[in-house]
Amino acid sequence: MIATPIGNLGDITYRAVETLKSLDLLLCEDTRVTRRLLDHYGITVTTESYREQVHFQKITRVAGLLREGKTIGIVSDAGTPGISDPGFRLVRDILQQAPDTKIVPMPGPSAVAAAVSVSGLPSDSFVFMGFPPHKKGRAAFFRETLGQDRTTVLYESTHRIAKALNEITALDPVRPLAVCRELTKMFETIYRGTAAEIMKQLDETSSKGEFVIVIGPSK
């Protein structure tokens, strides 16, 4: 399980680069995205697409290769595979179908850890909620999130960031937040304040990009 940069290609570890060079097969969320990273470091390795939607078409073959002693890596488009990205079902079923396989975590960039570290909000205990539902269950998701007595972290897309901030404002207009846009990229920006204050800042700058929202505890 190989963590890859969340934006800045320089953030990959030496260990990850050397491991990528040694693999028999690399499973990628999107081979085109991963190819940019591989080309940047001059890495030649056989790649194959792996998405949750084709899991059951892939798992038998992947488990068979592992039983033959092949070394297989898994990457997502950015960050750590299995964290709001493909990987969870693959690991679970490999443990069942190829139980002698050693699954090695290769840590590295994490949007969650990066956002919490610069948020200015309590970091001794926090909850990661992933992406909010698009429609069904969204209101309940935000009620649960705002009810946490510890810092909460979630992801949101550029298309729904304004909606998310408005929903947070409606539930708790004074809750402190940090919203991180385009972490490690050229236009990285950290916004802090209430949801309404941050919404105003986004209106004055840009609401485009990938977002991590860090919400302070309810107490």
pTM of structure? 0.90
Q: How far apart are CA 151 and CA 34, in angstroms?
A: 32
What one-letter code names the amino acid at 75?
V
- Report the alpha-carbon angle 209-214-216, nearest 5: 155
What tokens appear for 9 in the block? 């290609």
Structure-model confidence comparison of residues 9 and 206, the more confident one: 9
**52-30-130-174 Cα dihedral, nearest 10 degrees:** -150
Q: Is the pLDDT of residue 95 over 80?
A: yes
Which range among 84-88, 145-149, 187-191 shows the weakest confidence by mean pLDDT? 84-88
| pLDDT-based confidence at residue 51 (cuts at 50, 70, 90) | confident
Q: Is the pLDDT of residue 137 over 90?
A: yes
Q: 170-201: per-residue pLDDT in tens?
A: 999 999 999 999 999 999 999 999 999 999 99
Domain segments of the chain as ranges: 9-97, 111-215
Same fold, 9-97 and 111-215: no
- Name the fold adopted by 9-97: Cobalt-precorrin-4 Transmethylase; domain 1 (3.40.1010)
Check the CA dihedral 25-30-31-33 and report its sign.
negative
Percent of the chain with pLDDT over 70: 100
CATH homologous superfamily of 111-215? Tetrapyrrole methylase, C-terminal domain (3.30.950.10)
Kindly report the average pLDDT of the chain as a whole number: 94
